[in-house]
Amino acid sequence: MYARPWQQVLDFYSNVVNGRTSLSGLFGTEALSIHDDAEIVEASDKSKSVNGATEDRTGRWARVTFKIVLSYHGGSFDGWQKQPDLNTVQGLVERSLGKFVDEKKAQLLEDKGLPIEGCSSVAGRTDKGVTALQQVCSFYTWRKDVKLQDIEDAINNAAPGKLRVRSVAEVPRVFHPNFCAKWRRYLYIFPLNDGETLARPILRSLLDNDEDELKTRKKPTRFEASKVNQLLHQLEGRLLSYKMFARDTKASRNIGPPTECFVYHARATEAILPCSAKDGEGTKVMCVELVANRFLRKMVRVLVATSIREAAAGAEEDMLLKLMDATSRRATAPPAPPDGLCLVDVGYTEFDPQNCLIPSWSQARKKEKDCIK
């Protein structure tokens, strides 16, 4: 699975992050819109009226909160979460925000011998190698002289070509990028070869080198994105426990509601990378789009790898549902490489099934009829 032209996928993501191309070029659909901050403000105003908070309050209510939408190239960072001696997105962003910290907090940090940095919250922490196109984070300060353009310039100058601000907006204090989010959208791009067939060495890696399982599994057949689409489609509209598809999570989170996710949209299709032209043709890839209220650690990558494995083995359409009742995570495949994964956007209003990169069959059929008309 790793021995594929992943660099072409990384190059495509880099071009999208830098605004040289867009996902609409990949799917031939309209580009997804930037977040509507007006709706966030409206929802937050309702929350404030319930809690009795007003704009003219002082003290802790006087602070100013900023919502920042970021794009960054996964191959250039060691993930989002700040860690010592690693090049992380959070570390870079918070260092850039240090110049906007209020005097009281700056003095407190200086007295403790700590660097003067901002403190950010994020919608979802991405792993090393994972790209984001509309990651959402927030930052607050008690300073009143901070301008939106100053925040944008500070972050953009930190890592040109690797990290880019899509938008900055002042939002109500009650806004939190994680807790206020209603859904997240991920895209996984998997490079395909002409006449794609899943060879035994690849199947072995997907089965985590389990010799007994290799002997009992059906031999792989022609690998088709349409079969992966059928498998993933069974997840739509269901609240299910994805504990078998998670990795690196604590045992206490392996049972009950903490493992449950509601998948709004799960689709796969073939596409051509527009930025990797070769002899007049692009690179054929399989794209997987997943939208859910939340995702567990490495859940998307395990779902992609497992659906590819099961599609190649000719599994029944409900195989992913059956694997959720397994007693060991070895029943699901090891995570697919992080290079293909991208956090596309985060939603703060109800999910609109019409606003998808990969439409459902009924939506595609309707679009076809509209074109004929």
* 294 token code pair: 């939340």
In angstroms, the Cα distances linking 312 to 198, 201, 307, 344 are 6, 13, 8, 27
Q: Per the residue annotation, which of 127, 145, 210, 352 is the catalytic one?
A: 127
The per-residue DSSP string of 252-298 comes to: GGSSSGGGEEEEEEEEEEEEEEEEEEETTEEEEEEEEEEEES---TT
Active site (annotated) includes residue 127: yes
Question: In whole angstroms, what is the distance from residue 59 CA to residue 216 CA?
Answer: 66
Question: In whole angstroms, what is the distance from residue 323 CA to residue 311 CA?
Answer: 14
The two beta strands, 131-141 and 64-72, are: antiparallel
Q: What is the DSSP letter of 136?
A: E
Positions marked active-site: 127
